[in-house]
A = this chain, B = another copy of it.
Amino acid sequence: MAIIKEGLRPGGRSARVQESVHSAVRELLEAHERSSVTVPMIAARAGVTPSTIYRRWGDLSVLLADVALARMRPDSEPANTGSLRGDLQAWAEQYLDEMSSEPGRNMMRDVQCSQTPGYCVSILSGQFQAIVDRYPDNTPPSVDRLINLLAAPTVFRILFASAPLQVEELHELIELALQ
């Protein structure tokens, strides 16, 4: 039965291993200090051997990055408030909140260690595109402009400044983007 299913769905076992290992990582990161989580712990919880993990992900940092990237996929469309300015404000305030949190900071660190950090901007692009597509009559700003003026300062300040962006600054940047 299992063999037939896998014959019909190539990658079925591989997808199940991935899901089980990702879940194990998420659960362990909730229960333990990040630095104490090891590949053998993850393997034991996921019901696979450590060598399965090493073969597939190479090492722990790649696995953590893979989980972080999977987590970045947003659960839903950006909030629709009825106006371009309102949608951008809602999006930017939520992004600032999420990225300033401890899981958000860890996620950004892991993503940088991944082989595909560009995936991060491609997700952001999709979200901004969804927003601007709602308001074709407003001659909305380009997606690149929104990434440079909203996402970049938010993340840069979290990573490299002593204090995150203030909400007032975020609103000023939105006005600048809308000019």
Interface residues of A (CB under 8 A from B): 108-109, 111-112, 117-118, 120-122, 144, 147-149, 151-153, 155-157, 159-163, 165, 169, 173, 176, 179
Most chain B CB within 10 A, of A155, A157, A160, A163, is at A160
| A112 CA to B147 CA, complexed, in Å | 21
Excluding A120-B161, A152-B152, A152-B153, 12 further A-B contacts by CB distance (< 8 Å) are A108-B160, A109-B112, A111-B160, A112-B160, A118-B163, A121-B162, A147-B153, A147-B161, A148-B149, A148-B153, A149-B149, A176-B176
Q: State how many copies of this chain the complex holds.
A: 2
Cβ-defined partner of A159 (8 Å) among B112, B148, B157: B112
The interface residues of chain B lying within 8 Å CB-to-CB of A165 are 148
Interface of A is mostly: helix
| A151 CA to B155 CA, complexed, in Å | 12
| A112 CA to B156 CA, complexed, in Å | 11
The interface residues of chain B lying within 8 Å CB-to-CB of A149 are 148-149, 153, 176
| A153 CA to B147 CA, complexed, in Å | 8
| A156 CA to B121 CA, complexed, in Å | 9
Q: Judging by beta carbons under 8 Å apart, are A161 and B118 in contact? A: yes
The interface residues of chain B lying within 8 Å CB-to-CB of A152 are 148, 152-153, 155-157
- Taking the closest CB of chain B, its distance from the CB of A48, in whole angstroms, is 26
| A176 CA to B148 CA, complexed, in Å | 12
| A104 CA to B152 CA, complexed, in Å | 18
